[in-house]
Amino acid sequence: MVMGAANGKRYADNSRHLFEWLLSQRPDLEPIWLTRSRQVFDSLKRSGRPVALASTWSGMRALARARVGVYTNSLYDLALSPFLVPERLQLIALRHGKSVKKVRFAQAEQTSSQRQLAERRFECSRVRYAISTSEFISDFQETSLRIGRHKHIVTGYPRNDALLHPTSEMRELWGAYLGNLRPLKVVLYAPSWRHGREAARFFPFGDFDVSALVEYLRSRALLLLLRPHPNDAQAFPAMMTYLNQLSTDPDVIRVASHEALPDVHSVLPFIDILVSDYSSLYHDFLLLDRPMMFVPYDYEEYNRHNGFHYDYMANLPGPAISTMAEFIGDLEMLLEGQDGFGERRLSLAGRVHAFRDARSCERVASLIESIVRGEDPR
């Protein structure tokens, strides 16, 4: 089988976590990672993991010979073009995550080019199964993919196995990232992608004062990680310049770049408080039942462009922040143990996640086996 993620550019997400589990537990399924990134190729090669560059003869040979293909973002995860994916390849879409926002064919305002739409229609016509975390998620995932509701299989996300039970490798990488720093709490600020309309705005507050923020974080021994979406990091250099200006004291504020931390789900288990907006990260973070804060500064605009699958504000599992005073005030309340959103988190988690047993990789492996045997897993 062949596997890939992030349009062939990064080693991350559901595919990464399933790949490593298969190598450890089910090497008989012979997974091979395909990538377009020389950096990813070299890193996996050094670690002794089976990998091939999609642009080389060995990569194209692996793609041609495989019986099953597993991916997250698009068929660019596996090939230089979606139309180069062999017809015989049985495709499983692990998905990049499913958040409250509408994407692809469900998006309120369709901004994709005709070429992108053609590629997505081709991809969706080829998908054998797409995994999800619950029937609730499957229902509105189908509106985005349009592959047929019967093709959605509830297994849970492979990346969430490690969220519930971090591996020793994840702990070592996190320890190396912190170095000698031992913060009391770690806060991750990770907003969602605006689909290229504009860069996500960090701290979009009229009363924002970086000096006051740094002073507060230092007084409470907090480490704040600023994590831009990878598409924003690439498309908006001015945003990255701004984030770097905010993080002049790495003991207090750091830019959690994709170079330093390629896979955010390898970091998420060590986060105490999540700050986000419409990202699928907060759906995953529900499994940990830890506090969250939200900065939906462009809610009306986002609703107009994308739309939401359910009532975002009514189900928000944390406070909506609109000022710097609220940001620090709510952080302080959480540090003092005053968290009033526990019941709402549990309620939403019950709808989003059918499984909380860290056996999602095992269930996806069973799905792969059923395909290989020519059986219907439903």
Q: Write the single-letter amino acid at 79.
A: A
- Give the tokens for residue 247: 């993080």
| pLDDT-derived band at 193, boundaries 50, 70, 90 | confident
Q: Judge whether residue 378 has pLDDT over 90.
A: no
Residues 312-350 have pLDDT tens digits of 999 999 999 999 999 999 999 999 989 999 999 999 999
- Give the tokens for residue 103: 């994407």
Strand-pair partners of 262: none
pLDDT score for 113: 82
Residues 98-136 have pLDDT tens digits of 889 998 888 888 777 888 889 999 999 999 999 999 999
Helical residues (DSSP H) of 69-164, grouped into ranges:
114-126, 135-145, 159-164
Question: Average pLDDT in the 246-256 region?
Answer: 94
CA distance 253 to 241: 14
Torsion, Cα of 100, 35, 25, 127 (10° steps): 50
Percentage of the chain lying above the pLDDT 70 cut:
100
The Cα angle at residue 357 between residues 371 and 155, in degrees rounded to 5: 25
Q: Write the single-letter amino acid at 112.
A: S
pLDDT score for 111: 73
CA distances from 248 to 64, 153, 212, 252 (A): 49, 46, 14, 9
Determine contact, residues 5/97, Cβ cutoff 8 Å: no
pLDDT score for 107: 87
* 279 φ/ψ angles, rounded to the nearest 5 degrees: -75, 150
Q: Which residue has the tokens 């359910």?
A: 310
Model confidence, pTM:
0.93
Spatial CB neighbours of 77, under 8 Å, sequence gap ≥ 6: 4, 5, 6, 7, 8, 15, 34, 71
Look at the alpha carbons of 84, 89, 95, 101 in this order and tell me if their dihedral is positive or negative: positive
Question: Average pLDDT in the 8-15 region?
Answer: 94
SS3 63: helix
Which has the closest alpha carbon to 228: 261, 206, 205, 251? Answer: 261
Question: Average pLDDT in the 5-30 region?
Answer: 96
Domains located in the chain, CATH noted: 2-162+358-372 (3.40.50.11820), 167-352 (3.40.50.12580)
CA distance 328 to 334: 10
Question: Average pLDDT in the 345-359 region?
Answer: 96
| pLDDT-derived band at 144, boundaries 50, 70, 90 | very high
| pLDDT-derived band at 306, boundaries 50, 70, 90 | very high
| pLDDT-derived band at 86, boundaries 50, 70, 90 | very high
Q: Judge whether residue 46 has pLDDT over 90.
A: yes
Q: What is the mean pLDDT of the chain?
A: 94
Question: Average pLDDT in the 220-238 region?
Answer: 93
Task: Give the residue with greater pLDDT, 64 vs 235.
Answer: 64
Report which secondary-structure segment, H or E, holds 281.
helix 281-285
CA distance 151 to 198: 34
pLDDT score for 327: 97
pLDDT score for 110: 75
225 phi-psi bin (left φ>0, alpha ψ -120 to 50, beta other): beta
Question: Average pLDDT in the 208-226 region?
Answer: 96
What Rg do the C-alpha atoms of the chain give, in angstroms?
20
Question: Average pLDDT in the 27-45 region?
Answer: 97
CA distances from 189 to 276, 289, 313 (A): 6, 17, 19
pLDDT score for 195: 80
